[in-house]
Amino acid sequence: MIISKKQQRLLIDIGVNFLLCSVIGAVIYQFGEGTPLWVSLLISYVFGFIAHCASVTISNIFPHKANYLQLAYAWLIALLIGGSFAFWLLYSQGVVDPSNAFNKFAKLILSSFVFGSAVVYFFYTREQAFMMREALKEAELKQAEKEKALLLSQLKLMQSQIEPHFLFNTLANLKGLIHQAPSKAILMLDKLTELLRQSLSATRDQDRTLNDELNFCEAYLSIQKIRLEERLRFTIEVNKEVDLHCAFPPLLIQPLVENAIEHGIEPSEEGGEVKVLLTMSEAAKLVIEVKDTGVGLSYSNNAGHGVGLANVRSRLDSLFGEKAKLLIRECAKKGVISRIEVPVHAE
List Cα–Cα distances, 207 to 36, 66, 155, 245, in angstroms: 67, 46, 15, 10
When mean pLDDT is compared across 61-70, 93-102, 255-264, the lowest value belongs to 93-102
Angstrom distance (rounded) from CA 5 to CA 17: 18
Burial of 315 (0-12, 13-18, 19+ CB in 10 A): buried
Per-residue model confidence as pLDDT tens digits over 246-265: 988 888 898 899 889 988 99
pLDDT tier for residue 274 given thresholds of 50, 70 and 90 = very high
Stronger pLDDT, 293 or 36, i.e. the higher one: 293
Mean pLDDT throughout 5-31? 69
pLDDT tier for residue 232 given thresholds of 50, 70 and 90 = very high
Give yes or no for residue 293 having a pLDDT over 50: yes
Per-residue pLDDT, 52: 72
CATH architecture assignment, domain 231-343:
2-Layer Sandwich (3.30)
Give the residue extent of every domain in the chain. Answer: 5-139, 231-343
Stronger pLDDT, 64 or 34, i.e. the higher one: 64
Phi, psi (degrees; rounded to nearest 5) at 331: -70, 160
Give yes or no for residue 175 having a pLDDT over 50: yes
When mean pLDDT is compared across 137-146, 245-254, 332-341, the lowest value belongs to 137-146
Per-residue pLDDT, 161: 47
Per-residue pLDDT, 347: 45
Per-residue pLDDT, 166: 66
Mean pLDDT throughout 199-214? 73
Burial of 104 (0-12, 13-18, 19+ CB in 10 A): buried
pLDDT tier for residue 346 given thresholds of 50, 70 and 90 = very low
Give yes or no for residue 296 having a pLDDT over 60: yes
Stronger pLDDT, 346 or 333, i.e. the higher one: 333
Stronger pLDDT, 161 or 219, i.e. the higher one: 219
The two beta strands, 272-280 and 285-292, are antiparallel
Stronger pLDDT, 335 or 176, i.e. the higher one: 335
pTM for the whole thing? 0.52
Per-residue pLDDT, 199: 67
